Amino acid sequence: MTIAQSPIDFAAPGLSTQPAALNADERATRRLGTYLTLPTQILLAFIVIFPLLMELYISLSSWTPLDGRNWLYAYRYWAGLDNYWELISNARFWQSIGRTLFIMVVCVPVELLLGLGLALLFAGEFRGKRLFYSIMLMPMMVVPAVAGYMFFMLFQSGGPINNILSTLSGGAVSIAWLSRPNLALAAVMIADIWQWTPLMFLILLAGLLGVPEDQLRMATLLGAGPWWRFRLIVLPRIRAILLIALAIRTIEIFKVFDTLYIMTTGGPGVSTETISVYIYKVTMEDLQWSYVAAIALVILVVLSALAAPAIKRFAPAR
């Protein structure tokens, strides 16, 4: 065992249990830590906890801004759990959830596999790699709303995508992407895949670079070709990162909004209405804020319940 890695860092690697009596030096350090994080802790409390309580409060009433009064008076319109019953029986709500889940189930795996493929490609060397890096990361840098508008234009009946398809197929292609329900959903998914695959690519590349090179070399020397190396060495080692990427993207995609809304505003009809779009419409058009508060809270609880085990598993105390 060697002592610390640097003369400044005196933390013994892993094993030391804090003895009961801390000396003055250690106490001072602890106090400093508390003071430094106090502002952030207060801010967090204000930004997170307060709105949550507010939401809970509103969701238990039938208050809307049309009532003319401040939200503080919501208690006057007490409705108990009515909003919650409403959302359980609302068909449109459930359909939007279904659609969101469908998008999730299709897009996330595609993004993951494409990202993995690209990461594997980039883990090796090839000409023009630097240039390609920039190109690869550009979609992620585009503002989602702008991406939405971009795809809106691309998917027009007389737009570039149809033009390319015409050239490729020889005949005139004039698919009405955004006016046919199924095609609109497909278009929206394509947009999402385009924009977020680079994120998966980055995360997985980071994971791949963490695979020890000697072990890969050793595997090669033992006779393992690229497939064996991937299966037996790379995959087990990126398992944790893979799952993290999966968790991140799954949670995010559940909230998909900007790109989609700008492309289709949830249409045609409600064929691309995801849960976020639904909430947006109910909030802005129907102004049923208390109902929306209930929905938001339910989604928060469900997502947290799903995410918590994942977070616990992959962020162990080091």
Partner 1 sequence: MAAITLENLSKNFGAFAALKELNLEVRDREFVALLGPSGCGKTTTMNLISGLLHPSVGRILFDTRDVTPIPMDRRGVGFVFQNYAIFTHMTVRQNLAFGLRVRRLPPSEINRRVGAIAEMMQLTKLLDSRTDKLSVNILQRIAIGRSAIVEPAIFLLDEPLSNVDAAFRQVMRTELKTLQRQFKQTMVYVTHDQLEAMTMADRIAVLDQGILQQVGSPLEIYNHPRNVFVARFIGSPGMNLLNGRLSAENGQTFVDLGPAGRTDALPSGLARAAERAQSANVLVGVRPEDLECVDGATESGLTLVVSFVERIGHRTVVHLGAGAQSAKMTAHSTFVAALGSALRLRARAAGLRLFDRSSGLALTLE
Partner 2 sequence: MAHIEFDHVTKRYGDVVAVRDITVTVEDREFFCFFGPPSSGKSTLLRLLLGIEKPTEGEIRIDGKVVNAQSPAERNLAMVFQNLALFPHMSARDNLRFPLVERGVATNIIDERLGGIADKLHIGHLLGKRPAQLSGGERQRVAIGRALMREATAYLMDDPISALDARLREEMRVELKRLQREIGHTFIYVTHDQEEAMSVADRMAILEHGVIRQIDPPQLIYDRPHSRYVASIVGAPTMNFVAGEFDGSRGEFRSADGALKVALSGYCGEATEAVDLAFRPEDTVLGGADGMPARVVSVEPLGAFSIVIVDSGSQALKAMIKGQATPSTGDIVTVGVTPSRVAMFRHGDGRRLEADAHHPTINIKTAREETQPC
Task: Identify the sign of the CA torsion 298, 299, 304, 305.
Answer: positive
Helix (H, G, I), strand (E, B) or coil at 78: strand
- Select 106 or 216, whichever has its Cβ closest to partner 1: 216
Q: Find the DSSP H helices in the chain.
A: 24-44, 50-59, 82-89, 91-123, 129-141, 144-154, 160-169, 181-209, 213-221, 226-229, 235-254, 258-264, 275-281, 289-314
Where does this chain touch partner 2 (CB under 8 A) — which range of 18-26, 134-142, 153-161, 182-190?
A: 18-26
Length of the chain equals 318
* Residue 6 makes contact with partner 2 by CB under 8 A: yes
CA distances from 168 to 116, 161, 162, 171, 194 (A): 28, 11, 10, 8, 21
Taking CB within 5 to 8 Å according to partner kind, which of partner 1, partner 2, none is near residue 220?
partner 1
Shortest distance, position 220 Cβ to partner 1, whole Å: 5
CA neighbor of 148 nearest in space, from 266, 35, 232: 266
**Token pair recorded at residue 60:** 């238990």
Q: What is the longest distance spanned by two Cα atoms in the chain? A: 83
- Select 7 or 124, whichever has its Cβ closest to partner 2: 7
Taking CB within 5 to 8 Å according to partner kind, which of partner 1, partner 2, none is near residue 224?
partner 1
Shortest distance, position 228 Cβ to partner 1, whole Å: 5
Helix axes 181-209, 235-254, angle to 10 degrees: 140
DSSP string over 91-102: HHHHHHHHHHHH
**Cis previous bond, 268, omega within 30:** yes
Residues 26-55 that bind partner 2 (CB under 8 A): 26
Where does this chain touch partner 1 (CB under 8 A) — which range of 76-84, 193-201, 225-233, 307-315?
A: 225-233
Where does this chain touch partner 2 (CB under 8 A) — which range of 9-17, 112-120, 172-180, 232-240?
A: 9-17
Helix (H, G, I), strand (E, B) or coil at 4: coil
Where does this chain touch partner 1 (CB under 8 A) — which range of 9-17, 164-172, 181-189, 229-237?
A: 229-237
- Select 13 or 98, whichever has its Cβ closest to partner 1: 13
Shortest distance, position 6 Cβ to partner 2, whole Å: 5
Shortest distance, position 217 Cβ to partner 1, whole Å: 6
* Residue 4 makes contact with partner 2 by CB under 8 A: yes
Where does this chain touch partner 2 (CB under 8 A) — which range of 7-15, 247-255, 257-265, 284-292?
A: 7-15
Q: Which residues bind partner 2 (CB under 8 A)?
A: 1-7, 10, 12, 15-17, 19, 21, 23, 25-26
Q: Which residues bind partner 1 (CB under 8 A)?
A: 212, 214-215, 217-225, 228, 232-233, 236-237
